[in-house]
């Protein structure tokens, strides 16, 4: 039995190590797709049309090129913001906020699920246990703030962890979840634009008419169309799923964990749930950045403290 457990742990370790090793490969793959697409759309088709086509054709081509570059800049800005932003690390020696004069820390016990929990107890005449209960990570050997989970790939606890994404070579958590959502949005818009822009050339492959360009250029155009159409369809599914998660103020992990929970303590209504991720300053909603005012007055954007419904505060964090 011990040997079986050791083999399973070793397999999980090798799997996590393999995911970490994919890092630079996935970034190069993303940049490779961008490069192929740029060559097919801008260099091969629409820039030549601007210089050689008629007035109407040139105007349409110029509009496509401008919109393509705008979406590409936003896509890459959002992408590298996710890649380079720490999703949220538990501060050293973090402890839950409490009234030190009226509460004391009880030694860690085991919950019904086998995970140690920390319980706060009122001191004084009425000595009753008080929720919430704070979880303890045995791997990191530290307390876990609300909505925090341990990532086996990163080897640490991540604040409001959603999932570990191999495409961004990083965890998606409290501090970069907005950037990840914007990356999905701009990827969908960009790949949809490219798919529609290359559709006439793609249809031309199956017609009898001749298409201008060398075989290599035509092959690149065909590849760019197929890749962008595939990304547009797949990213749309992820985008719809995450829009649903944001509207309920939950994460992918929490959505799985609270299947049996009829009410969710952090669901404050769609608008407030949206602001918990994107902030309140509309000027910053669609760029991978927060305003200083939002960062100062919204603790949820820092990943350690979240407002919740008072009548559901007894739920385990």
More confident residue, 22 or 57: 57
pLDDT tops 80 at residue 25: yes
pLDDT tops 80 at residue 242: yes
Q: What is the pLDDT of residue 296?
A: 93
Percent of the chain with pLDDT over 90: 55
pLDDT tops 50 at residue 111: no
Measure the CA–CA gap between 118 and 55, rounded to whole angstroms.
Answer: 71
pLDDT tops 90 at residue 64: yes
DSSP state of 106: P
Which DSSP string corresponds to 216-265? HHHHHHHHHHHHHHHHHHHHHHHHHHHHHHHHTT--HHHHHHTTT-SS-T
The answer to whether residues 61 and 49 touch, using CB atoms and an 8 Å cutoff, is yes
What pTM was estimated for this model as a whole? 0.83
Best mean pLDDT range from 14-18, 121-125, 131-135, 269-273: 269-273
Average confidence (pLDDT) over 26-51: 93
Known active-site residue 154 = no
In the chain, where the domains are located: 12-91+165-312
Q: What is the pLDDT of residue 108?
A: 43
Q: Which residue out of 148, 154, 157, 165 is catalytically annotated?
A: 165
Q: What is the pLDDT of residue 20?
A: 60
Measure the CA–CA gap between 115 and 129, rounded to whole angstroms.
Answer: 18
Measure the CA–CA gap between 78 and 295, rounded to whole angstroms.
Answer: 18
Q: What is the pLDDT of residue 262?
A: 65
């Amino acid at each position: 039995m011990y040997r079986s457990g050791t083999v399973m742990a070793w397999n999980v370790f090798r799997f996590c190590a393999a995911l970490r090793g994919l890092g630079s490969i996935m970034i190069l793959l993303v940049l490779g797709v961008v490069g192929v697409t740029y060559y097919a759309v801008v260099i091969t088709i629409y820039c030549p049309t601007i210089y050689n086509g008629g007035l109407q054709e040139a105007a349409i081509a110029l509009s496509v090129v401008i919109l393509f570059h705008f979406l590409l800049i936003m896509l890459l800005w959002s992408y590298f913001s996710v890649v380079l932003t720490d999703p949220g690390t538990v501060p050293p020696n973090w402890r839950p906020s409490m009234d030190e004069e009226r509460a004391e820390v009880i030694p860690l016990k085991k919950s019904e699920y086998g995970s140690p929990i920390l319980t706060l107890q009122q001191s004084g005449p009425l000595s009753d246990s008080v929720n919430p209960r704070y979880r303890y990570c045995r791997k990191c050997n530290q307390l876990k703030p609300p909505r925090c989970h341990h990532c086996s790939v990163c080897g640490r606890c991540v604040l409001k962890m959603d999932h570990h994404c191999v495409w961004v070579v990083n965890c998606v958590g409290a501090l970069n979840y907005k950037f990840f959502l914007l990356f999905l949005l701009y990827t969908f818009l960009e790949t949809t634009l490219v798919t529609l822009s290359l559709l006439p050339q793609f249809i031309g492959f199956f017609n009898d008419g001749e298409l201008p360009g060398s075989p290599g250029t035509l092959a690149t155009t065909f590849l760019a169309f197929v890749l962008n159409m595939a990304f547009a369809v797949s990213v749309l599914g992820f985008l719809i799923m995450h829009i649903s998660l944001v509207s309920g103020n939950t994460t992918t992990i929490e959505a799985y964990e609270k299947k049996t929970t009829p009410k969710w303590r952090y669901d404050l209504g769609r608008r407030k749930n949206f602001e918990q991720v994107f902030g309140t300053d509309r000027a910053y909603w669609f760029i991978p950045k927060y305003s200083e005012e939002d960062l100062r007055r919204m603790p949820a954007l820092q990943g350690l403290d979240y407002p919740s419904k008072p009548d559901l505060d007894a739920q385990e964090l």
